[in-house]
A and B are shown apart, each in its own frame.
Chain A
Amino acid sequence: MTATQARPAPMTRGYRFELVKLLSQWRVRLLLLVCWIAPAAFVAAVSQQSMLPTDTVFGRWMHATGWSGSLVVLDFACSWALPLLTSLVAGDVFAAEDRLGTWRHLLVAVRSQRRIFVAKSLASLTVILLLVAGLAASGIAGGLLAVGNEPLVGLDGHLLAPADAAGTVLLAWACVLAPTLAFAAVGLLGSVALGRSPMGLLMPALLALVLQLAQLLPLPVAVQLALPSHAFLAWRGLFTSPAQTGPLLIGLVVSLVWAVVAAALAYRLFLRRDFTDLAYDGSGRRVLVTGVVPLAGLVALTFAVVAAVTPAHGSGIERAKLQDSLATVYAHLYRLQARELGRPDVTEARLKTTASCDKGSVRVADEGPGNDWRCVVSWHLPGVDSVGSAIYQLDVTADGRYVADGDGPKEVNGYFQVRTPTGDAPNPLWQFDGDVDLLADTPEGTVHASHASAPARPGNPSWASSRTYRPQNPPPRG
């Protein structure tokens, strides 16, 4: 009888074992419970309040439709919840074996480092997907039960029919899976690199913090797009018509590249590890050399590629684009208000809305984020031969999102509510959100033409054509 060198354990068994181990941890169970319950409770509770989270995109529409609740949850999840969830799951999946001193037993049982890596990665991915699915499903269920399946006002003011809203909300949740994967891979890397040290658990959270700080800065578009967290913001572009697919697609690709690179670094580090050394505790220097430096290099490389192959330049927020966006939102919301008030319907084409913006004092260039944008919106009053105008203060953030706050005249945007035949309703023109496409190329001077010729453009949103969701091609670039 000769002894045979044993074959590795089948992958599916290793995967199932890793999943069982993860799901047996009280921390993971608690996270699952919270992710499947908390968003529903939050959305249902907030929807009943008079104060809405208007700082968050779609927060102001939480009374109007159940779909906005899920988007508020999504926006919140993108800033904190998703990086933290990946921290707690992926950031611990390797380190847990170090803490328990079970590495050598596991290696002897499975007999393949590669399979252990894959099984652990897939198992933590599964748990993360379960958590994200919970956040999405729970927020949607809470909104639909508490408010109902109503049309959703997009970030350019156009109305999405309930079916479109449903599709787009689900698509947005699917899109944020890409940056979530990137953070999960960074978590795996931290977990492999740092062993028992709790710093590994903090890697994705730390990365999230750094990226959040970066997003507060007025960084050039090419840099913003090169960061793995950009897709956490770019999904908002799905809620304009046409959709702002450029930044979103780049964000998705960058996130996926990060996921692959960070996972590959983790894999390489894992294969090189000496498991016979029980005193393994990771080291700061190794993390720096094997993790931080390559990923920083990746940011630099992505930046160079994005700057070279996309029309990204400067802050991406130019006067012409902002005016164009504001005029579009205003026209859509004006129509919405007219319907609310029971007035005869008007078309955007008849309104011929234009906007004229100015940033800060005369000496400041009309470009870039800031809360010192001041705009005058003008439109042609239906049936009358005169031009209406209204003033808005805009707070534009570096990611292209802005809040327009009405600054008169009172009859248009001075009141929080309007009196409708069926009682008081929120005034959509009082304060509203918008989103500038950071990559769109709108040369100065052609801004208003698109509205004047609106009926001729097939992709132009209108009350009637927005009933079905159609993914749009990226806007034409010059």
Chain B
Amino acid sequence: MQRSPVVRARGITKSFGDVVALDGVDLDVASGQVHGLVGPNGAGKTTLLGLLLGLAVADGGSLEILGTPVGRALAVPDGVAGFVDGPGLYPSLTARQNLTALASLRGNADGGAVERALEQVGLTDVADDRIRGFSLGMRQRLGLAAALLTTPRLLVLDEPANGLDPAGKRHVHRVITELAANGTAVVLSSHRMDDLAALCSEVTVLATGRVVFSGPLSKLAAESGELDYRLLTSDPAAAHQVAEGVTGLGVLPGRDGPDADVLVVRGPVPALDELVVRLVGDGVAIRELAPVVTPLEAAFLALTGAGGGPGPTEGGTR
């Protein structure tokens, strides 16, 4: 498949009063690509996606979408779909009524499209319920269904993982993967790297309005540098002693509470190998050895400066 550029942004700036939300941002998204936009809260993700949807106009820089320069608010080329700041649905209408109305306004009166979209996001069972009672995740999925009505060529989703249960997440992942396989460019944002890792081929990392990284995920992982590892052994005191003896390996200050037995070490992979060999030799059993955060997360935290020391020990208890 020929990969034509769908989004081409150069030096985009956007301020709200004194707040500089975007400061010289470049973004390239090709068709068929799932592009992640990551950054902590307030980094400017929503602002940038809003520009792609034509909901606001940039103060400076150039933006081309589907080959058309975008300059006027609320006027984007056909084929762009998605939402920021909530899916913009009417709580007094049912899911099906909301979609039918949108389909009719956009001129595709084909009734099958609505049913297909509901099916794709897994909301067929609740299609005739008023969305007043929908959960955040259900609304997000309905918003996605609304975007699907037009068979978009550029799909923009702001924090789509928010409020989704595992089943909802599966639906959304499947939809996005299928769209990308058919040539749609997808741009989605998240404040967490792990949401995007499974979906995106490329990411752009934003921090306070600036791009701090842009490229394939594999390249991002390489930027992570030395990782922190959790080490849980049968004899924490002995393990601590052994670790301090390994050259190139640092031992981070221990913690109180339930994690008091966990040792956090930092160093290159060869030093870790050395540590394992020595522990086994000393008769200390290794119960767990794992990175505190994934390499991607570590790179993200390092780039955005949001980390600061070992991150929260998530998913490590067994």
Give A residues with C-beta under 8 Å from B: 1-7, 9-10, 13-14, 16-17, 20-21, 24-26, 100-102, 104-111, 275-276, 278
Contact = CB atoms under 8 A, between A and B. Distances in A.
A221 to B, nearest CB: 46
23 contacts: A1-B4, A2-B68, A3-B65, A6-B77, A13-B104, A17-B101, A17-B104, A20-B101, A24-B97, A25-B92, A100-B90, A100-B91, A101-B85, A102-B90, A104-B74, A105-B88, A105-B89, A107-B74, A108-B54, A109-B105, A275-B73, A276-B56, A276-B74
Nearest to A28: B92
Contacts of A100: 88, 90-91
A451 to B, nearest CB: 61
Output the residue of A6, A21, A25, A111 with the most chain B CB within 10 A: A6
Contact of A5 (B77, B92, B97): B77
A3 B92 contact: no
Given A9-B105, A13-B104, A108-B76, 15 more contacts: A3-B65, A3-B67, A5-B77, A6-B77, A9-B106, A14-B105, A25-B92, A101-B88, A104-B88, A111-B75, A275-B73, A275-B74, A276-B57, A276-B73, A276-B74
B228 to A, nearest CB: 40
Nearest first, the 4 closest Cβ-Cβ pairs linking A and B are A105-B88, A3-B77, A3-B66, A6-B78
A416 to B, nearest CB: 52
Nearest to B87: A105
Nearest to B94: A24
B86 A101 contact: yes
B55 A21 contact: no
A4 B78 CA distance: 6
B155 to A, nearest CB: 14
Contacts of B200: none
Contacts of A17: 101, 104-105
State the main secondary structure of chain B at its contact with A. loop
B85 A13 contact: no
B73 A20 contact: no
Contacts of B54: 108
B93 interface: yes
A24 to B, nearest CB: 4
Nearest to B106: A109
B229 interface: no
Nearest to B54: A108
B300 interface: no
A14 B101 CA distance: 9
Nearest to B6: A3
B265 to A, nearest CB: 47
A468 B304 CA distance: 87
Output the residue of A9, A102, A104, A110 with the most chain B CB within 10 A: A104
Given A2-B68, A5-B77, A108-B53, A21 B107 contact: no
Interface string B142-186: 000000000001000000000000000000000000000000000
Contacts of A6: 77-78
Interface of B: 4, 53-57, 65-68, 73-79, 83, 85-93, 97, 101-102, 104-107, 153
Contacts of A108: 53-55, 74, 76
Nearest to B85: A101
Given A9-B105, A9-B106, A21 B75 contact: no
A101 B75 CA distance: 18
Contacts of B92: 21, 24-26
A3 B88 contact: no
B125 to A, nearest CB: 21
A4 B75 CA distance: 11
Contacts of A20: 93, 97, 101
Contacts, number: 87
A112 to B, nearest CB: 10
A14 B83 CA distance: 20
B104 A105 contact: no
B68 A102 contact: no
Contacts of A16: 104
B68 A5 contact: yes
A4 B77 contact: yes
A10 B4 CA distance: 32
Contacts of B97: 20, 24
Nearest to A10: B107
A5 B75 contact: yes
A3 to B, nearest CB: 3
Contacts of A3: 65-68, 77-79, 153
A334 B144 CA distance: 76
A218 to B, nearest CB: 47
B140 to A, nearest CB: 14
Contacts of A13: 104-105, 107
A24 B106 CA distance: 21
Contacts of B53: 108
Contacts of A278: 85
A2 B67 contact: yes
A213 B74 CA distance: 45
Nearest to A25: B92
B242 to A, nearest CB: 57
A202 to B, nearest CB: 22
A20 B130 CA distance: 13
A26 B92 CA distance: 8
Contact of A2 (B66, B88, B105): B66
A357 B224 CA distance: 102
Contacts of B153: 3
A100 B131 CA distance: 13
A24 B75 CA distance: 29
A255 B92 CA distance: 34
Nearest to A9: B105
A10 B74 CA distance: 17
B67 A21 contact: no
Contact of B105 (A1, A5, A110): A110
Contacts of B91: 100
A107 to B, nearest CB: 5
Nearest to B83: A105
A191 to B, nearest CB: 17
A190 B219 CA distance: 56
Contacts of B104: 9, 13, 16-17
B203 to A, nearest CB: 25
Contacts of B77: 3-6
